[in-house]
């Protein structure tokens, strides 16, 4: 009788849940926002509903049910780190959801192949990555593929494409800022604490564009509001965020990237069935396939870099390091005061290393803030 590998089965189950929730949230958002279906063409309002719901759930989980403890968040860290990250998080969700009003789900997924390009550009600009010829050639391949796919789009809309690309670059900058600001300080937020600190701040940032762009229209037109539709929509987005947390804990970034690519293909296929207006051409597929080749090569380079940085030291180097550490420890004893660090404690994890690896492909994996991030609204 064959023995069932329960951990492996559980891992695949989590991956399946992630793919289903991610695809479901994206299709659900499209259905809610599209004028042809539920007809709630107010993306900022929908984003604010998600942020408000997520922030409230996180508050109850932390303050009432005490599932996790809040981190020791200082005012300085909140203003210099959480506020700018929340601003770009809100922008990425706003622009990404607005794109649903103009372009199809299938084309949006194809445009999301640009995420590694946007992240690489932002990382180089912020000094967290170096310009390399091999990576640049991959980015060029991805860009060419997206251009071909766009050229083959029958219902191409410049406004919708601009919204989506702007959202991608906002999300890329948010990911880089997460690495530069939070992780450089050694502060790590899990999905619950991320929502607790970032969702309310993002909600506030969305108030200004909502007041200018959507509030006047809500006053003069009859907007249908179904409580159960919006409650289930926000609940699915929240569940997606937690599912990514579970998957990352059991597998890793590479596995989720592969699952994300599979999800994108499933989404493209499903969207053409659920939304008949989402017509796919041969040029769309060819362009997207070219872009994915660039993405796969990019992922391979990143994994190769990580493995190279983790190669075991040679015996002479290790002996030299051990001797230096032994000599240093014999010179002076320094007590460990890590518990007094204002950046950590509770649900936060203080990490002395500034080289913490951040997922650089948000649509396929969300950083823990991220998939706070993206995930929240199933971009």
Non-local (6+) Cβ contacts of 317 within 8 A are: none
244 part of a folded domain: yes
Number of domains in the chain: 1
pLDDT tens digits for range 266-301:
899 899 899 987 888 899 999 999 999 998 888 888
2 part of a folded domain: yes
Which stretches within 210-331 are classed as H helix? Answer: 215-220, 227-250, 253-274, 282-309, 315-331
Instruction: With beta carbons less than 8 A apart as the criterion, state whether 347 and 190 touch.
Output: yes
In the chain the beta strands, taken as DSSP E runs, fall at 187-188, 349-350
Radius of gyration over every alpha carbon of the chain, rounded to an integer in angstroms: 22
Structural domain span for residue 1: 1-40+224-276
C-alpha to C-alpha distance for 253 and 368, rounded to whole angstroms: 11
Asked whether the predicted pLDDT for residue 370 surpasses 70, the reply is no
Q: What is the pTM of this model?
A: 0.78
Query: Which pLDDT score is estimated for 2?
Result: 52
Asked whether the predicted pLDDT for residue 343 surpasses 50, the reply is no
Q: Is residue 348 classed as helix, strand or coil in its secondary structure? A: strand
CA within 13 Å, CB half, 251:
24
Query: Which pLDDT score is estimated for 192?
Result: 87
Residue 144 — pLDDT band, cuts 50, 70, 90? very high
261 part of a folded domain: yes
256 part of a folded domain: yes
177 part of a folded domain: no
250 part of a folded domain: yes
For the chain, give the longest Cα–Cα distance: 76
Q: For helices 43-59 and 227-250, give the axis angle rounded to 10 degrees.
A: 60
Asked whether the predicted pLDDT for residue 122 surpasses 70, the reply is yes
Query: Which pLDDT score is estimated for 154?
Result: 84
């Amino acid at each position: 009788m064959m023995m069932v590998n329960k951990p492996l089965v559980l891992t695949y189950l989590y991956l399946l849940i992630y793919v289903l929730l991610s695809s479901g949230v994206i299709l659900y958002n499209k259905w809610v926002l599209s004028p042809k279906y539920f007809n709630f063409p107010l993306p900022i309002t929908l984003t604010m509903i998600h942020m408000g719901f997520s922030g409230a759930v996180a508050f109850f989980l932390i303050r009432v049910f005490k599932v996790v403890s809040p981190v020791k968040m200082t005012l300085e860290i909140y203003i210099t780190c959480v506020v700018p990250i929340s601003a770009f998080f809100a922008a990425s969700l706003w622009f990404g959801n607005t794109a649903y009003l103009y372009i199809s789900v299938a084309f949006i997924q194809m445009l999301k192949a640009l995420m590694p390009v946007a992240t690489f550009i932002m990382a180089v600009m912020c000094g967290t990555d170096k310009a390399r010829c091999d990576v640049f050639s991959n980015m060029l391949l991805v860009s060419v593929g997206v251009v071909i796919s766009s050229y083959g789009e029958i219902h191409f809309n410049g406004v919708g494409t601009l919204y989506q690309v702007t959202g991608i670059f906002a999300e890329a900058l948010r990911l880089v800022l997460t690495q530069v600001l939070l992780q450089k300080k050694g502060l790590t937020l899990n999905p619950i604490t991320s929502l607790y600190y970032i969702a309310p701040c993002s909600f506030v940032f969305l108030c200004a564009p909502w007041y200018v762009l959507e509030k006047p229209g809500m006053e003069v037109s009859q907007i249908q509001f179904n409580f159960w539709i919006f409650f289930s929509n926000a609940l699915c987005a929240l569940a997606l965020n937690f599912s990514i947390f579970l998957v990352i804990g059991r597998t890793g970034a590479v596995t989720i990237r592969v699952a994300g690519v599979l999800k994108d293909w499933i989404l493209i296929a499903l969207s053409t069935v659920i939304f008949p207006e989402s017509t796919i051409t041969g040029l769309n597929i060819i362009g997207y396939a070219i872009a994915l080749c660039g993405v796969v090569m990019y992922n391979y380079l990143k994994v190769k870099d990580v493995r190279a940085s983790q190669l075991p030291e040679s015996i002479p180097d290790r002996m030299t390091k051990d001797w230096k550490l032994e000599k240093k420890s014999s010179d002076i004893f320094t007590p460990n005061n890590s518990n007094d660090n204002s950046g950590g404690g509770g649900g936060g994890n203080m990490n002395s290393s500034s080289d913490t690896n951040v997922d650089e492909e948000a649509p396929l994996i969300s950083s823990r803030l991220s998939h706070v991030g993206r995930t929240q609204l199933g971009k």
